[in-house]
Amino acid sequence: MRVLGVDCGTEYTGFGVVELGPNDSLVCLTCGAIKLSPREPMARRLAIIFDRLGVIIHEHRPDNVAIEDVFYAVNVKSALKLGQVRGVAMLAASSAGLDVAEYSPLSIKSAVVGYGRAEKPQVQHMVTRLLNLDQVPEPADAADALAIAICHLHTSATLLRQRAVGG
């Protein structure tokens, strides 16, 4: 299974494609961030996110897309902008015929670190270890996107095991 994780943001939207390899090993195929200029109109930034995610989906052919669920935002305006970015990420996925899974920050941290209140450096460290990377993915948004993809892979594997036992 191959998953595109997306860490939605209005300045940087992180992305990471992770594949479940042989012996349940996790393999990072690509990661990075879509840098957006705050000087650009919001509509233009959303178009850039849609286009770039479309290219990543086309190049890496994920089976699913996973994004972080809405969480507390500093203010209403920030929450609305974040919601627009999330909507565009969902649209890019659904336009390619892919399902979208949403995970809370608590679920993501629990799946990657084992502790839902983990700090960002702990998540980055575990992502680096789980994917056997030489260095911490930069920017932090890329590491977050990889964590979201890992969360989906772990959750999917658990659900498959439960179905096998119960089925």
Catalytic residues: 7, 68, 141
List C-alpha distances in Å: 81 to 1, 68, 86.
31, 15, 9
DSSP three-state, residue 99: strand
Q: Are 56 and 49 in contact (CB under 8 A)?
A: no
- Whether residue 26 contacts residue 130, with contact meaning beta carbons closer than 8 Å, is answered with yes
Give the CB-side neighbour count of residue 148, counting CA atoms within 13 A: 30
Residues near 95 by Cβ (< 8 Å), separated by ≥ 6? 54
Per the DSSP assignment, residues forming a β-bridge with 31 are 16
